[in-house]
Amino acid sequence: MSVHVYQPGDLEVLSSMGTVSLLDGKPFIHTHAAFADATGRPFGGHVNHGCEVWALEVKIEEFEGPPPVRLFDEETGLSRWQSSPTVA
């Protein structure tokens, strides 16, 4: 189930983690985050297009070898990392 939530106002980023891989030959950023509103109420999920961030500290670690590639998986209906990526 996918629910899109618009949360007006300032939020605190509690934690975030994501990946950068290739999807259709282009960089694709997949990020999850936990936030808190002004009352301290936490919520989280995917960070989607349209999010505006004022400040965020990010650490990126590089993998050795070919870049991870996402391909569409018929069974799940998702674009998922392949265990042995091949870049066309």
Residues 29, 18: contact at Cβ < 8 Å?
yes
61 — phi, psi (to 5°)?
Answer: -110, 135
Percent of the chain whose predicted confidence (pLDDT) is above 90: 15
For 44, residues 6+ apart whose C-beta sits below 8 A from its C-beta are 14, 32, 33, 34, 35
Q: Can you give the pTM of this predicted structure?
A: 0.67
Q: Which residue has the tokens 């980023």?
A: 13
Question: What's at 79, amino acid-wise?
Answer: S
* Percentage with pLDDT > 70 across the chain: 91
